[in-house]
Structure formats: structure tokens, C-alpha cells
A and B are shown apart, each in its own frame.
Chain A
């Protein structure tokens, strides 16, 4: 049974890889299969992991107030009927509103205040050159980056110069994250290669 599974996985991997050569029916088949299966998988997961435990089980257990959430869910489905489809906006409003509310203070604290607090650091550390340089880079980098994202003033003169410095800092950080992403992609390829050469063909231990 496991062998069949490995063979299917290997053939599908090769099918998707074949796109690297060019688009072909084999790739299209694998793609459609993937889309179909994942849609089915999501449906089943949502039914058993969300609908049943979060709504049905609670209603059966007599917690009737869960019906409120259920009604909002049904409203969402009313999109299928164009005439009353507008009712789904209430559910959307609820989702958008709660998420915005939930995130506002959290972002303000975690990504705003705590981060700013950690950027307010001395520009000069007595007797420690490397820390002084490090601190300068953090403060100037953050400051010029903020200038770049200041939209109320055209980038001209000294302001434009700082914005340019900001974009340099941004590009440097993008370079670093580019490197990290290449590493990620290579890891994924290594994982697949290990599967093809090791698990499937048994060529490597």
C-alpha cells in the first residue's frame, strides 16, 4: 500500500517538475488533480473541523446562542441568490470589523510601541565602537525608511536625499530576504530530490 502511495507521489512530482521544460498535458493533469483534491480536502476539513465542532456540536449540546454565528454563516451563502445577496454584507461587515478591532491595539503594542521603544537607543556608546555603529545603522535606517514612506511631501532636496537613503536601506534588507528565500526554495527542492532519489528509487540512504 505504501509503495503505491510513493509511486503516485513520485509520478505527480515529476509531472509538476515537467512544467520546468514546458507546459504539457501531464502537468495540466497533475495541476487539475491537485486543485480538485485540495478543494475536496478543504471541504472535508472545514466540515469536520469547523462546522461540526464549532456549530453543530454546540447546538446539540444546547448552547443555542451559537445559532447567531450560524445565521451569519447562512447569510454568507445567500450570495447564491442575487436578489437577497446583499444580506451577505452583514456577515462581511462582522468579519472585517472584528478582525480590525482585534488587530488594532495588538499591532500598536507589538509592532508599534515595543519596536519604537527598542529603536530609541544611544547613538554613541562609550568605548564600544561596534555597538555605536550598530546603533547608528538601526536609528538612521529606521528614520530614513520612515521618510521614504512619508507620502505628504515630494521627494526633493534634503528630504529626497534621506528618502533615497531609505530606499537603499530597504534594498539592502530586500537583498538579505532574497537570499533567505533562495535558501527556502533550495530546501524545498532538496526535500523533493531526497524523496525521488531516496524514498522512491532507494539510491541514497
Chain B
């Protein structure tokens, strides 16, 4: 009895070792069989960069998305010689066929990428428990480019626009009369100043919260200059509270120049152009106080405005002042439209400054902008029509690769 059982055990063991186990292994091997390797691996310098990167491309493994469909990722390996030790530089999920091997540009950095140095690459297709490698590609070297060709449209745009501005300015200097359409807000300036003179009350001019470098503030300086000149002629006081010390300095210069133009430099009072604070709402609170205490007849809000626009315009409206506003801050225009008598919408502010100043510099710039707008409008209209017929020529004109 005992021996019989032993016999059975031996037979079973025999079966297990010599039949079932190998069969299992054969079956399991199906799973560990390597996938088809990636082919046509190419390594070359990455274009339009500073010279610390190589781009590797390959043809997907036959088992990526087709065949056994078991490729899950590709590993990119690099070595300094074809037979040398390859180290993993990165991994991309299945379905991708490019990789940018990038490194730091500082020599002391651990990840420094040596330019002008030969590198060799291999791509490894990975399944869950197996892999296969491509042949070695290379040598490839990384080097920087002098020009970033992807940014060519920016270069062309900048160049064309600069030429346009310079050409129009030079034409304006030569005395060419440029037409600028009338702007309602600007035609009202004279009446507004006249009213202040009649009432014997001051004029308040707010340059907004912008810095001296903001285009809106710069445009506002030109308008301030014209208005200062007129107030000097009418002997009306002008108050300019500022939010930025630099803006204040420029505003003082501007008003002084206006008084000089009017032939009344003696009337210029620097203390009326002053700095309050750079804090938005503290500034607003102070300006509101000025409006109510000084009972200003006319308020100008020209420049860059943010949340304070409505608070200012509302206070002025309650105080019964005539108000002329203008800003390129789109979010604030609705409030100015609602609460002031005249509003210069966005670019109209710049146009007003050119219109009033009649300075060749501003006029030229305005004309150049108009031409640029015309080009954009034409491209936009033709581009949209072309795009409806699946033509992307116009689209490519504006495509920038950074």
C-alpha cells in the first residue's frame, strides 16, 4: 500500500518536471518574447536652439499599435562610443517617435550637455517584461544656431513695422498732411476748459495708474501738454495728482512745457502736479477727496485705469463735473462710457494724442498702425475664406515656433 502511493508520487513528479513545467515555460515564453525593434533611428542636432540638445527620431516598432500591440514605451539610450556603455536618457510612451535629449548649458551643472561632441543613440522598445533594441545611430553633435528660423515671422513683422513707422514719420516731417478722423471726445476739450474758466474752478487731470512707459500714459502726456497750454491761455488752474513718482516727474515737465508754449511760464505752479501714493485705493480715496473739496469743473481721466475707474468717474459725476475719459484698459471702458460724458475707446486715446499733437512722430506711428491693421484685416478676411476651403497659407504667415 505504501509503495503504491510512492509510485504514484514518482510518476506525478516525473510528469511535472518533464512535461508540465516545460510546457508552461513554452507558453510563458510567448509573453517574454521581445517585440519587433524600432528601426531607422536617426540622431541629429536639435534645430533652433542654443546647442545643448540632440533630437532622436525612429520608426515605431512593428508591435506598437499593430502586431502583438504589446509595446508600452520607448527608452532612449546614449553612449559616447558605438560599442561603449549605453545609459538611459529618457523614456516616452508608445506611439511616440521622437525624443529631445536635452541638458544644461552651464559647465558646472551635473546635467551639462557637451556641444560639438560625438554621441551615439539606441532606442529600446519595451513590453511589460521584455524589450528589444534598435541599431546604433550616430555619431551626432549638438550645436547652437545663430538664427531661430521658427521666429522668422516675428523678425519680418518687426522689421516691416519699424520700416513702416520710420517711413511715415519721415513723410510727416516732410510736411505731408495725414488725415485722422475726428474724435468726439477731443472736440469737446475746448468747451470743457471754457466751462471751467467761466465757473472759476480748477481742472483735474488724472494720468491713471500706468507707469511712464505705458503707451496709454505716454499718449496722455501729449494730451496733457495741449490741455495745459489751453489752461495757461485761459488762466485756469490745473491739478494733476499722480500715482507714480516717475509719472509725476514727466507730468511736471509736460505741464511746464505747455505753459511755456502758451507764453506763460510764470503761471506754472509745480505744487499742483504732485505725488500721492502708489497704493491703488489709497490714491483713489485721496483723489475723490480732491474732487469734492476743490469742486473741479472738468475732470480728465486719460491713461491706464483699473478698478478705480468707476469710483473716480462716479464721484466726479455726483460732483457735477464735466468728464472726459479715455483708456486702453478694455475692462474699464464700460464704466467710463456709463459715467463720463465722452470716452476715448482704447486706441482712440493714442489717435487723440496724434490728432491733438500733430507731431510727426505720433502721426507717423498712427499711420503705420493703420497700415498694419489694414494688412491684418486683409489677411484675416482672406485667411478665413481660404481656411473654409482648407488652405492654410495665411495661417502659416502668422505661425511662430518659440
Q: Do chains A and B touch in the complex (CB under 8 A)?
A: yes
Given contacts A99-B213, A143-B380, contact A104 B388 (CB under 8 A): no
Cβ–Cβ contact A184 & B282, under 8 A: no
CA distance A41 to B218 in the complex (A): 28
Chain A interface: which of B68-76, B200-208, B366-374? Answer: B366-374
Residues of A within 8 A of B282 (CB): 31, 34-35, 38-39
Chain A interface: which of B25-33, B42-50, B57-65, B285-293? Answer: B285-293
Flag whether A51 is at the interface (Cβ < 8 A). Answer: no
Q: Which of B285, B333, B399 contacts A35 (CB 8 A)?
A: B285
Flag whether A17 is at the interface (Cβ < 8 A). Answer: no
Cβ–Cβ contact B213 & A112, under 8 A: no
Flag whether B188 is at the interface (Cβ < 8 A). Answer: no
Flag whether A175 is at the interface (Cβ < 8 A). Answer: yes
Cβ–Cβ contact B384 & A23, under 8 A: no
Task: Return the chain B residue nearest A142 by Cβ.
Answer: B380
Flag whether A173 is at the interface (Cβ < 8 A). Answer: yes
Cβ–Cβ contact A28 & B398, under 8 A: no
Flag whether A178 is at the interface (Cβ < 8 A). Answer: yes
Residues of A within 8 A of B54 (CB): none
Cβ–Cβ contact B277 & A122, under 8 A: no
Q: Give the interface centre of B153, B366, B367, B390 by most chain A CB atoms within 10 Å.
A: B153
Residues of B within 8 A of A181 (CB): 307, 310, 331, 334-335
CA distance A193 to B384 in the complex (A): 50
> Which of B307-359 touch A at CB < 8 Å?
307, 310, 330-331, 333-335, 337-338, 345-348, 351
- Count chain B residues whose beta carbon lies closer than 8 angstroms to a beta carbon of A: 65
Residues of A within 8 A of B288 (CB): 19
Task: Return the chain A residue nearest B371 by Cβ.
Answer: A152
Cβ–Cβ contact B331 & A177, under 8 A: yes
Flag whether B157 is at the interface (Cβ < 8 A). Answer: yes
Residues of B within 8 A of A152 (CB): 178-181, 367, 370
Minimum CB–CB distance from A146 to chain B (whole Å) comes to 5
Cβ–Cβ contact B377 & A42, under 8 A: no
Cβ–Cβ contact A139 & B384, under 8 A: yes
Given contacts A108-B154, A143-B380, contact A95 B213 (CB under 8 A): yes
Residues of A within 8 A of B181 (CB): 151-155
Flag whether A13 is at the interface (Cβ < 8 A). Answer: no
Cβ–Cβ contact B384 & A149, under 8 A: no
- Count chain A residues whose beta carbon lies closer than 8 angstroms to a beta carbon of B: 57
Cβ–Cβ contact B154 & A109, under 8 A: yes
CA distance A23 to B292 in the complex (A): 8
Minimum CB–CB distance from B85 to chain A (whole Å) comes to 43
Flag whether A60 is at the interface (Cβ < 8 A). Answer: no
Q: Which of A31, A96, A117 contacts B399 (CB 8 A)?
A: A117
Task: Return the chain B residue nearest A16 by Cβ.
Answer: B285
Minimum CB–CB distance from B126 to chain A (whole Å) comes to 37
Main secondary structure of the interface of A (DSSP, over half): helix
CA distance A119 to B382 in the complex (A): 11
Residues of A within 8 A of B246 (CB): 76, 92, 95
Q: Which of B154, B331, B370, B384 contacts A120 (CB 8 A)?
A: B384
Cβ–Cβ contact A114 & B277, under 8 A: no
Minimum CB–CB distance from A51 to chain B (whole Å) comes to 14
Given contacts A99-B213, A170-B345, contact A31 B370 (CB under 8 A): no
Flag whether A196 is at the interface (Cβ < 8 A). Answer: no
Minimum CB–CB distance from A69 to chain B (whole Å) comes to 15
> Which of B219-269 touch A at CB < 8 Å?
246, 249-250
CA distance A38 to B348 in the complex (A): 34
Minimum CB–CB distance from B351 to chain A (whole Å) comes to 5
Flag whether B130 is at the interface (Cβ < 8 A). Answer: no
Q: Which of B180, B213, B373, B394 contacts A149 (CB 8 A)?
A: B373
Cβ–Cβ contact A146 & B377, under 8 A: yes
Query: Interface code A173-195, partner B: CB below 8 Å = 1, 0 otherwise?
Result: 11101101100100000000000
CA distance A99 to B211 in the complex (A): 10
Known: A143-B380, A171-B337. 13 other contacts (CB 8 A): A16-B285, A76-B246, A92-B250, A108-B161, A114-B400, A116-B398, A124-B388, A139-B384, A150-B374, A151-B366, A152-B181, A181-B307, A181-B331
Chosen A-B contacts, 23 in total, with CB atoms closer than 8 Å, are A16-B285, A28-B289, A34-B281, A38-B277, A38-B279, A38-B282, A39-B279, A41-B279, A92-B212, A96-B218, A109-B400, A117-B399, A120-B384, A120-B387, A120-B398, A139-B381, A146-B376, A151-B180, A174-B333, A174-B334, A174-B337, A178-B338, A181-B331
8 closest Cβ contacts across the A-B interface? A120-B383, A99-B213, A38-B279, A174-B334, A178-B334, A117-B398, A38-B282, A122-B388
- Which B residues are closer than 8 A to A by beta carbons? 153-154, 157-158, 161, 178-182, 211-213, 218, 246, 249-250, 276-279, 281-283, 285-286, 288-289, 292, 307, 310, 330-331, 333-335, 337-338, 345-348, 351, 366-367, 370, 373-374, 376-377, 379-381, 383-385, 387-388, 390, 394-395, 398-400, 402
